[in-house]
Amino acid sequence: MKNQRGKLIIISGPSGVGKSTITRRLVERLKEAYLSVSVTTRPQAPSEQNGREYWFISREQFHQRIEAGALLEYAEVFGNLYGTPRDKTDEALNAGKTVILEIDVQGARQVKALYPQATMIFLLPPSDKTLAERMRRRGREGGAVAARRLSAAGSETAAAWQYYDHMVVNDDLEQALGEVMQIIQEAPRIEAESDTDQNNIGDR
């Protein structure tokens, strides 16, 4: 029988669009979901916990992981490195779980090249003004960093229109969540990694 793997869902969007809120709620609502925790060289914010939002590691440790092939994808975003640990993701997919990756556009394209059945969802703010307001309210980053993130949002969104399977506007949280849930329900599963290497080709 064909090995049924889980679904691979990529969620991206500009800083302040509400990615973390949406992914957290998704994991609560979906049965059998796994939210990947990335490794990053970015400094830990006071509100964050090591192992919850991210695993905070040094550049040297990050490069060791790249060399060991331990990352499914990685990218430099706003001057820091971010990457998805491969082992946990594989394990969850093999267990038939819905794996959620909250990663940027560069990383998303790497994952899609590896897994063409991955579903790419990009979250959009209702307007640029709301994005700026949400970032200011969140107050996680200082003025210069916030400005840099805001100006990156435009080019990221332009790239997303080209590469993503779905664009979802996060104006009303419940509505956006409903749309994303619907997309996930209809998303294809990832095909078994090496069907052709196994002796079960005639048994699909």
Q: Which residues bind ligand 5GP (CB under 6 A)?
A: 12, 15, 38, 42, 73-75, 77, 82-84, 102-104, 106-107
Q: How many CA atoms lie within 13 A of 159 on its CB side?
A: 15
Report in angstroms how near the CB of residue 196 gets to ligand 5GP at its nearest: 29
Report in angstroms how near the CB of residue 152 gets to ligand 5GP at its nearest: 9
End-to-end CA distance of the chain: give it in Å, rounded. Answer: 5
Contact 163, 120 (CB under 8 A): yes
Q: Is 51 helix (H, G, I), strand (E, B) or coil?
A: coil
Contact 115, 187 (CB under 8 A): no
User: Which of 111, 91, 85, 73 shows the shortest CA–CA distance to 32?
Assistant: 91
Whose Cβ is closer to ligand 5GP: residue 143's or residue 202's? 143
Report in angstroms how near the CB of residue 173 gets to ligand 5GP at its nearest: 18
Report in angstroms how near the CB of residue 23 gets to ligand 5GP at its nearest: 10
Report in angstroms how near the CB of residue 83 gets to ligand 5GP at its nearest: 5
For 119-131, b/e burial (b = at least 16 CB within 10 A) is bbbbbbbeeeeeb
Whose Cβ is closer to ligand 5GP: residue 103's or residue 187's? 103
Instruction: Tell me the residue nearest to ligand 5GP as measured from the CB.
Output: 107
Whose Cβ is closer to ligand 5GP: residue 57's or residue 192's? 57
Whose Cβ is closer to ligand 5GP: residue 12's or residue 119's? 12
For 132, phi and psi rounded to 5 degrees? -60, -40
Whose Cβ is closer to ligand 5GP: residue 4's or residue 20's? 20
